[in-house]
Amino acid sequence: METARHEWPLWSTAATVVTAPEVLEPSVRLVEAVLAEVDAACSRYRDDSELARADGELARGVDVSPMLATLVEGALEAARCTDGDVDPTLGAQLDALGFGVDVIDVPLEPAKAAPPPDWTTIRLRGRRLTVPGGVRLDLGASGKALAADLAAHAAHDRFGAGVLVSLGGDIATAGAAGFRWQVVVRDTADDPAQQVSLRSGWAMATSSTRRRRHRWNGREVHHIVDPRTGLPAEPVWRSATVVAPSCLLANAYSTAAVVRGHRAPSWLASRHVDARLVGDGAAVVTVGRWPDPDGGAGRE
């Protein structure tokens, strides 16, 4: 399959669409529309997002849009499959740590007390969303990955060609049965790189403790929070990359790997997850069927 690509800045990272040349332009427009709908539904960085506008009413229950309901259900699925390691009720903790705005470049005060995270307190019945008072939702951990899934499948369903959508470290693919996308796995310039061939229809996500960092309370912190402490997870892994049937699941497991730290390899293996973890000194640990340097990713 011949491919063409288009890349543009988005959400403090880069968005990329790769597909057949003849449908690249309309595919990009459709992907942009899907991503704009996701952003309008759940962005924590916009006062006019649907989630921000509903914040004060959620304790009583609010009927939300189909998109926001989809994003919340995706967040709850990520929480379920990671035993709560990826928790959508961390909004207050992230705000206290200084991740309440899009770009952070100043020291901040220590975190203030916030309700303990507990994703099981969220209720979604159809499109009726209820969130306990004092709890702020943050759908960022799952929302970007699910956005990649939604955008890739929308473009394939509309135009029929195989498509890859990458949002930073979150990659979703759709269509082109039997095709393999060539993907370079590398978080930062001084990390070891590996090219893998990702089976079309599968997804890949990388979670990093070396990106989205700033100084808080006199020390540098990353953005992946351990729900059990309300603080950034111990940076055992510089990055965690996972291949899964959807980008939502890949991101959930890669984020949970960072949260789990030293326990991540055995836990991922128990879930039959294929992963590549980069630790101190750029040492690489692989789990499951993660491919050799010249192998393919995405199970048959």
Q: What is the pLDDT of residues 126-156, one digit of tens each?
A: 999 999 998 999 998 899 999 999 999 999 9
Element (H, E) at 19: strand 13-19
What is the rounded average pLDDT of the residues 170-181?
95
Judge whether residue 299 has pLDDT over 70. Answer: no
Judge whether residue 113 has pLDDT over 90. Answer: no
The CA angle 273-276-280, to the nearest 5 degrees, is 135
Q: Amino acid identity of 145?
A: A
CA–CA gap between residue 196 and residue 185 (Å, rounded): 7
Q: Amino acid identity of 41?
A: A
List, in order, residues 6 or more apart from 215 with CB less than 8 Å away: 106, 107, 108, 221
Phi and psi (nearest 5°) for 21? Answer: -55, -40
Percent of the chain with pLDDT over 70: 86
Least confident stretch, 71-75, 132-136, 239-243, 250-254: 132-136
Q: Amino acid identity of 241?
A: T
**How many separate domains does the chain show?**
1
Quick check: 202 and 183 in contact, CB under 8 A?
no
Q: How many CA atoms lie within 13 A of 233 on its CB side?
A: 28
CATH number at residue 117: 3.10.520.10
Judge whether residue 213 has pLDDT over 60. Answer: no
Q: 183 is in which domain, residue-wise?
A: 4-297
The owner of tokens 């919340």 is 72
Average pLDDT taken over every residue of the chain: 88
What region, left, alpha or beta, does residue 288 occupy, with left being phi > 0 and alpha being psi -120 to 50 degrees? left
Other CB atoms within 10 A of residue 219 CB: 8
What's the residue count for the chain? 300
